[in-house]
Copies of this chain bind each other. A is one copy, B any other.
Amino acid sequence: MLFNPKVFSQRAFSQKARKKINVGIIGGAGYGGTELIRILIFHPNVNLKFVTSRKYAGLKVSSVNRFLEGLIDLKYIEPDISIFPEPIDLIFFATPHKTSMEMVPRLVREIPEVSIIDLSGDYRLKNPDEYETYYGSKHSSPELLENFVYGIPELNRDKIRRARYIANPGCFATGIIFALYPLLKEGLIKSPVTVVAVTGSSGSGDVPKEVTHHPMRAKNFKAYKILEHQHLPEIKQFIRERCGVDELEMGFIPQSGPFVRGIFTTAVAFNPGLSQEEVLEAVNRHYRGLKFVRVVNGSPEVVMVYGTNYVEVSYRYRDGFIVGMSAIDNLVRGASGQAIQNMNIMFGFEETAGIWFPGMKP
């Protein structure tokens, strides 16, 4: 069983659960960083000590993000290790790709006791060649890759508990892995697997660009990076490690839709001879009892996970086709919420601490 409620609630009352750790955020002005702040300022086990932003260094976090006024007193600082206030227990990277692989080696050297959760893609792939292929630049600290644990909490909890460094999964990867995991783990599906996943505009970050220009985006739907999105290798790597499927052939078509938050994933494979019951049983074996995973009838819905750390999944079998679907909030479960859940596991806090809030209707 992936989740043992008994262990969970015992931990909740342990001393460890009451301690507070000192936390810093590198890259705290984008959507991922802001979402980390929004959650961490209410986290019972966290003292948020610093937040960096090249662009806004010197300005108050709450003047750049006025919806945080009265909730945080920090000013953004430069992302310069030498000025980070110490002691620091954990640093989140919410930076674009390439930043963390440049900074982490020095961090590790100079603050050896610090834990790291990297929301970027820099330390997700064990194979630096894959990184180069998919991210377009040579990895600058490949020697550290093995030290990072892939942080998909419910499905990798044991390793996360013992980890010092976490590579937080990509948003698409999160949605896709949750849709596929029990099916692959139980051997119900095999290659080829087709995955179509659509993301809201917040997935493109906070810098205005063509694809998020409101006059066009609000009326548009389209695909991009067809069959070559950079989240493919991290999914395959995880499936290989955790499901024992060595060479999953997966065609992944990412799409962008005219909404703000959310990723909806549809994963399909063909395997005649199963039944809806078998599929659901397999799913329940893995997902029953998970606090943040809702197995629903019908379809997952983005509106039901809006602004939350929940994952909705549902499964349908008919005429030989197995369909696994998931809905997540790309900024919470697809980034910052999941990162904080990883932190909770690493530090022995209540796993739901700080992220135990429902969505909204509407």
Which A residues contact B (CB, under 8 angstroms)?
31, 34-35, 38, 41-42, 65-71, 191-192, 194, 196, 198, 200-202, 204, 206, 208-210, 212-224, 226-228, 249, 251, 253, 255, 257-262, 264, 266, 268, 270, 291, 294, 296, 298-308, 310, 316, 318-321, 323, 325, 327, 357-362
Contact = CB atoms under 8 A, between A and B. Distances in A.
Contacts of A296: 66
A66 to B, nearest CB: 6
A64 to B, nearest CB: 10
Contacts of A217: 214, 218
A215 B196 contact: no
Given A219-B302, A224-B299, 13 more contacts: A67-B358, A192-B320, A194-B321, A196-B196, A196-B268, A198-B221, A204-B215, A212-B213, A214-B218, A223-B266, A223-B299, A226-B318, A255-B266
A110 to B, nearest CB: 32
Contacts of A302: 219-222
Contact of A251 (B70, B206, B251, B270): B270
A200 B303 CA distance: 16
Given A208-B210, A219-B362, A259 B260 contact: no
A13 to B, nearest CB: 18
A192 B192 CA distance: 10
Contacts of A41: 358
A361 B300 CA distance: 24
Given A208-B213, A212-B208, A299-B222, A361 B258 contact: no
Contact of A305 (B67, B68, B310, B358): B67
Contacts of A220: 259, 301-303
A192 B322 CA distance: 12
Across the A-B interface, the 4 shortest Cβ-Cβ residue pairs: A251-B321, A215-B362, A208-B208, A192-B270
B298 A224 contact: yes
Indicate the member of A69, A192, A316 with the most B CB atoms within 10 Å: A192
B202 A362 contact: yes
Contacts of A224: 298-299
A215 B192 contact: no
A305 to B, nearest CB: 7
A307 B304 contact: no
Contacts of A71: 358
Contact of A221 (B294, B327, B360): B327
23 contacts: A31-B215, A41-B358, A67-B310, A67-B358, A196-B266, A200-B215, A201-B214, A202-B215, A212-B213, A213-B213, A215-B260, A218-B362, A220-B259, A220-B303, A223-B300, A224-B298, A226-B323, A226-B325, A227-B323, A249-B319, A251-B321, A253-B266, A260-B362
A262 B221 contact: yes
B222 A327 contact: yes
Contacts of A321: 192, 194, 227, 249, 251
